[in-house]
């Protein structure tokens, strides 16, 4: 396995971390209770502090994440990811999910159908819980079939998911995000 390096950086929601290998982004760590806890999460993933600074692709990701947390519509689809530590199924689901844009939502079931496993909504939910790249792979945009928020495994849980969806305009006030009507041809909702 290639060496994993990381760097912490300040965002609008707190100190985040990004780890990378020569193959791409290894993980994104959203803020924990303190910068020290955020750093410990990265260390547990086998990452080491970068002695020479991040490569250009990681610097670009820092800037994109900064823009995102300031509420700007940001696209992470071109950020290269290192899929070496995830299963083939999860990697396929993450690639599909990356097509869900800022302000859109999708259901676990629809994502399972797109992945070619129509009855694998729970497996998609588990993939979301294991997602090493929150925001870059926008697991916060995945909802339960009923339109309910479902879970969110990052620090802050569902409250953070709700905050991110509100920021993107996919959710208003305390209402759950709206899903398309019965006759819409897709389960993606766009603002």
Catalytic residue numbers, as ranges = 139
Return d(Cα 82, Cα 46) in angstroms, integer: 14
Torsion-angle region of 114 (φ positive above 0: left; ψ -120 to 50: alpha; else: beta): alpha
Q: Are the CB atoms for 38 and 17 separated by under 8 Å?
A: yes
Q: Tokens 């086998």 — which residue?
A: 46
Half-sphere exposure (Cβ direction) of 2: Cα atoms closer than 13 Å = 15
Count of residues making up the chain: 191
Return d(Cα 26, Cα 84) in angstroms, integer: 9
């Amino acid at each position: 396995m290639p060496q994993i390096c990381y760097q912490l950086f300040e965002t609008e929601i707190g100190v985040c971390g990004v780890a990378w290998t020569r193959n791409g982004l290894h993980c994104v760590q959203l803020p924990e209770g303190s910068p020290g806890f955020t750093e410990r999460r990265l260390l547990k993933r086998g990452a080491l502090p970068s002695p020479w600074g991040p490569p250009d692709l990681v610097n670009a990701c820092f800037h994109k994440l900064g823009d995102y947390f300031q509420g700007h519509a940001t696209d992470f689809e071109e950020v290269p990811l290192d899929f070496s530590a995830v299963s083939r199924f999860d990697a396929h689901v993450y690639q599909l999910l990356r097509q869900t844009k800022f302000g859109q939502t999708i259901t676990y079931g629809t994502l399972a159908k797109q992945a070619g496993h129509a009855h694998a909504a729970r497996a998609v939910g588990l993939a979301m819980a294991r997602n090493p790249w929150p925001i870059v792979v926008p697991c916060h945009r995945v909802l339960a079939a009923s339109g309910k928020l479902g879970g969110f495994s990052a620090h802050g849980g569902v409250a953070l998911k709700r905050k991110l969806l509100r920021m993107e305009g996919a959710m208003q006030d305390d209402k759950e995000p709206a899903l398309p009507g019965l006759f819409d041809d897709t389960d993606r909702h766009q603002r």
